[in-house]
Amino acid sequence: MSDLRQVLQASPRRSSRVFHRMRVQAAGRGHNKRKFKEVCETVVVNAHGGLLMLKHEIDNGEMLVLTHPETLEEQECRVVYLGEPCDKGQRVGVEFLTPAPHFWGLDFSDAPAVN
């Protein structure tokens, strides 16, 4: 089973997940403990976080700050999943420290769940 499929079939969700590609800025500390900022892309999002493609190597449990490119809203989040590195980067699952259903600019009340 692929890593993405495992992430998408994980335990019951608190909110619907939807495939949604958008660029966000991520800032945090890499595996080497050095600060970084990069523009990355989302793969799947929900009201409590999302799955990103990140170029910097990062540790599970590390904190990130995501910045929405249009609203400049910032959300602190914790890394809760690390996929295998590939040419495009690494899939990184993040969970917001506080739920932020409007951060992605989507309405999750009618969103079909991703299984």
| pLDDT on residue 15 | 62
More confident residue, 41 or 20: 41
| pLDDT on residue 1 | 45
Full set of structural domains in the chain with CATH: 3-11+18-96 (2.40.10.220)
Q: 65 by DSSP, 3-state: which?
A: strand
| pLDDT on residue 19 | 81
Q: List pLDDT tens digits, range 84-114.
A: 888 989 999 999 999 888 899 877 665 445 5
| pLDDT on residue 3 | 54
Number of residues assigned to the chain:
115
Distance, CA of 110 to CA of 99 (rounded, Å): 17
More confident residue, 113 or 57: 57
Q: Is 32 in contact with 20 (CB distance < 8 Å)?
A: no
- Residue 4 has φ and ψ, to the nearest 5°, of -65, -45
More confident residue, 29 or 1: 29
